[in-house]
C-alpha cells in the first residue's frame, strides 16, 4: 500500500487568499474581466476544468466562449493521442494574433500534455506568448500561479515530476445542473505499454469515502440527476486507503444509499480488475445505470500481452458472459486500438471476432498513436498506414452494422429517460438519455429539463434514438 499525500487544508486556505487578492484587484477594473476555459480529452479533464472555473469565479472573473473577449485563457490539454496534441499546438499558435491585439491577455496551458518534458521544452522555446504552464499535480495551486503572473509578468512553468496528491475543498463551477462528474481517485498504476497516462497523472490515489459521499449528497440535494464517478481505473479504488472492506463495489453501495432520485455511472473499468462482486453490486443497486464501459483494446492474446493489459481474450469474454447473466439488458461499450505495433491483419481478425461475439452497443475506436516515453513507441511497426486504415474501416463498418441493429431493437419500447440538454436540432428541441446512456431526440416543453420522463421510441439511427412522450 502506498502513502497518498493529502494537501493540508491550510495550504488550500492560502490558495483562497490568493483568490481574494485577485478578486480585489479585478473589482477595481472598469468592467469585470472575462475568462475562457477550453478543455480537451477525457471526463477527468472536464472535472479538472470545473475546478479551474471554480477558482476563476472566486477570483471575480466572468466567463466567455470567445477567445478574443477573454482576459485569461486556460487551455486544459490531453496527451492520449498525437492528434489531440497537434490540435492544441495549432490552436495555441493561432492565439499569438489575439495576444498582439490584446497584450494584457494571459494565456495558460495545463493538463496532461504539459506534463511531458518534451512538450514543456517546445512551449518554452517556440510559444513565447504562453504565460503560464502547469501540470495536473499543480492544479490546486492555480490561484498562486496566476497571482505571480499578474504581479510579476514573468513566464511560469510548474510541472513537478511526482506521484501526485489529493487536494480537497477546491471550488467547483459545473457546466450544467443535471449531470455531474465526481472524481473518486486519480492516477494509474497499470502502465499499459501504449499509454502515457501513468507518466503524466501519477500513481493511483483514492479520495477518502467520506469526502466522496459528502460531494454526492450535495449534488443530490442540489437536484443533479446523473452522477458519474471518475477514475482512470475505478476498480482499483481503495487499494491505497488501507481500510478493510473498502473497495469500488463497497463505494457503489454507499453512493446508492444516498437519498435522492439520480443515476450512478462510472468510468473507467479495467478488465483485469473487474469482478463478480462488482457485477453483483451493479445488479443489486437500483440507482446504478445498466451500462458498463469495459475497454478490451484488442482481441488477440499476443497483442494483449504486448500491450501489458493483464488479461486474455477468453477472460474478457467470460466477464461479459458473467455480467449479462446478472444484467441481461446491460449496455456495453468499449475501446479498441487498431494497428498496435506488430499487430498483423490475421491478429486483427481476432478483434473482429470479439465484436461479433459480444455485440457492443457502441465502440470508441482509434488507430494506434505512438506516445514518446512509452514502451510501445520503441516497438517495430511493419504494417503500413494504408493497411491499418483498411483494418480500421472494417472495424468501423462492422460496429456500425451492430450498433444500427441494436438501436433498431428499441423501436416500440417505452423507456425511462433523463432529459439532460436542449437539442441544437430545431426538429427535436430536447435530448434525453436512457438509463443505459443511449441518446434520444424528442420534442417537448423545455421545463422537462432535468426530469425523468417516459419516452416511447419511434425511430432509430446508428447513433441516436427518436421518441415521443409516452
**Which grid coordinates are listed for 107?**
494565456
Main-chain dihedrals φ then ψ at residue 434, nearest 5 degrees: -70, 170
- Strand spans (E) along 297-428: 331-338, 362-367, 414-422
Strands 132-134, 156-158: pairing is parallel
Please say whether the beta carbons of 439 and 334 come within 8 A.
no
CA distance 237 to 250: 10
pLDDT along the chain (470 residues), means of 10: 83 98 96 96 94 98 95 95 90 92 94 94 94 96 97 90 92 95 96 95 96 98 98 95 95 98 96 96 98 97 98 98 97 98 97 98 96 94 94 98 97 98 90 97 96 98 95
- Strand spans (E) along 304-400: 331-338, 362-367
> Roughly what angle, to the nearest 10 degrees, separates helices 82-94 and 117-126?
20
* C-alpha distances out from residue 195 to 40, 81, 90, 245, Å: 17, 9, 23, 30
In this prediction, residue 425 carries a pLDDT of 82
Main-chain dihedrals φ then ψ at residue 172, nearest 5 degrees: -130, 130
Paired strand residues for 264: 227, 288
In this prediction, residue 82 carries a pLDDT of 86
Across the beta sheet with 132-134, the strand order is 62-63, 34-39, 72-77, 106-111, 132-134, 156-158
**pTM as predicted:** 0.95
Annotated binding site: 42, 78, 112, 188, 192, 195
In this prediction, residue 81 carries a pLDDT of 86
* Residue closest to 28 by CA, chosen among 60, 56, 1, 55: 60
For residue 412, give the DSSP letter. T
The 10 Å CB-count burial string (b at 16+, else e) for 49-83 is bbbbbbbbbbbbbeebeebebbbbbbbbbbbbbee
CA distance 72 to 74: 7
Helix%, strand%, coil% for the chain, nearest 5? 40, 20, 40
In this prediction, residue 234 carries a pLDDT of 97
In this prediction, residue 153 carries a pLDDT of 72
**Which grid coordinates are listed for 52?**
479551474
Domains and their CATH numbers in the chain: 5-165 (3.40.50.12160), 168-408 (3.80.30.20), 414-469 (2.40.50.140)
Annotated binding site for [4Fe-4S] cluster: 42, 78, 112, 188, 192, 195
In this prediction, residue 427 carries a pLDDT of 87
Amino acid at each position: 500500500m502506498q502513502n497518498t499525500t493529502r494537501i493540508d487544508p491550510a495550504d488550500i486556505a492560502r490558495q483562497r487568499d490568493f483568490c481574494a487578492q485577485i478578486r480585489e484587484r479585478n473589482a477595481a477594473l472598469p468592467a469585470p474581466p472575462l475568462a475562457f476555459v477550453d478543455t480537451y480529452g477525457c471526463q477527468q479533464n472536464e472535472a479538472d476544468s470545473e475546478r479551474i472555473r471554480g477558482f476563476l469565479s472566486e477570483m471575480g472573473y466572468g466567463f466567455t466562449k470567445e477567445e478574443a473577449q477573454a482576459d485569461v485563457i486556460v487551455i486544459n490539454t490531453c496527451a492520449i493521442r498525437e492528434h489531440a496534441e497537434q490540435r492544441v499546438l495549432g490552436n495555441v499558435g493561432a492565439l499569438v494574433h489575439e495576444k498582439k491585439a490584446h497584450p494584457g491577455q494571459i494565456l495558460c496551458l495545463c493538463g496532461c500534455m504539459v506534463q511531458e518534458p518534451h512538450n514543456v521544452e517546445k512551449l518554452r522555446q517556440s510559444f513565447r506568448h504562453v504565460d503560464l504552464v502547469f501540470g495536473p499535480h499543480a492544479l490546486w495551486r492555480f490561484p498562486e500561479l496566476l497571482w505571480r503572473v499578474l504581479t510579476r509578468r514573468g513566464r511560469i512553468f510548474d510541472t513537478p515530476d511526482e506521484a501526485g496528491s489529493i487536494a480537497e475543498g477546491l471550488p467547483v463551477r459545473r457546466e450544467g445542473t443535471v449531470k455531474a462528474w465526481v472524481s473518486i481517485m486519480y492516477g494509474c498504476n497499470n502502465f499499459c505499454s501504449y499509454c502515457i497516462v501513468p507518466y503524466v497523472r501519477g500513481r493511483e490515489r483514492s479520495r477518502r469515502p467520506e469526502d466522496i459521499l459528502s460531494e454526492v449528497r450535495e449534488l443530490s440535494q442540489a437536484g443533479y440527476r446523473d452522477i458519474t464517478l471518475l477514475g482512470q481505473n475505478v476498480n482499483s479504488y481503495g487499494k491505497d486507503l488501507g481500510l478493510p472492506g473498502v473497495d469500488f463495489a463497497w463505494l457503489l453501495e454507499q453512493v446508492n444509499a444516498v437519498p435522492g432520485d439520480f443515476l450512478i455511472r462510472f468510468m473507467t473499468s479495467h478488465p483485469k480488475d473487474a469482478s463478480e462482486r462488482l457485477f453483483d453490486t451493479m445488479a443489486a443497486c437500483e440507482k446504478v445505470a445498466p451500462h458498463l464501459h469495459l475497454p478490451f483494446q484488442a482481441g488477440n492474446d499476443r497483442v494483449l500481452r504486448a500491450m501489458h493489459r493483464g488479461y486474455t481474450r477468453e477472460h474478457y469474454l467470460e466477464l461479459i458472459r458473467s455480467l449479462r447473466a446478472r444484467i441481461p439488458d446491460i449496455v456495453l461499450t468499449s475501446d479498441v486500438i487498431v494497428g498496435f505495433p506488430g499487430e498483423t491483419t490475421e491478429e486483427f481478425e481476432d478483434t473482429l471476432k470479439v465484436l461479433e461475439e459480444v455485440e457492443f452497443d457502441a465502440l470508441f475506436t482509434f488507430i494506434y498513436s505512438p506516445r514518446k516515453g512509452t514502451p510501445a513507441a520503441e516497438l517495430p511497426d511493419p504494417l503500413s498506414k494504408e493497411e491499418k486504415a483498411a483494418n480500421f474501416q472494417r472495424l468501423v463498418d462492422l460496429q456500425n452494422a451492430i450498433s444500427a441493429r441494436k438501436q433498431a431493437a428499441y423501436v416500440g419500447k417505452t423507456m425511462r429517460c433523463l432529459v439532460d440538454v436542449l437539442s441544437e436540432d430545431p426538429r427535436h428541441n430536447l435530448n434525453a438519455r436512457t438509463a443505459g446512456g443511449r441518446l434520444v431526440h424528442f420534442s417537448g416543453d423545455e421545463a422537462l429539463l432535468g426530469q425523468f420522463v417516459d419516452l416511447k421510441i419511434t425511430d432509430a439511427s446508428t447513433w441516436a434514438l427518436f421518441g415521443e412522450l409516452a
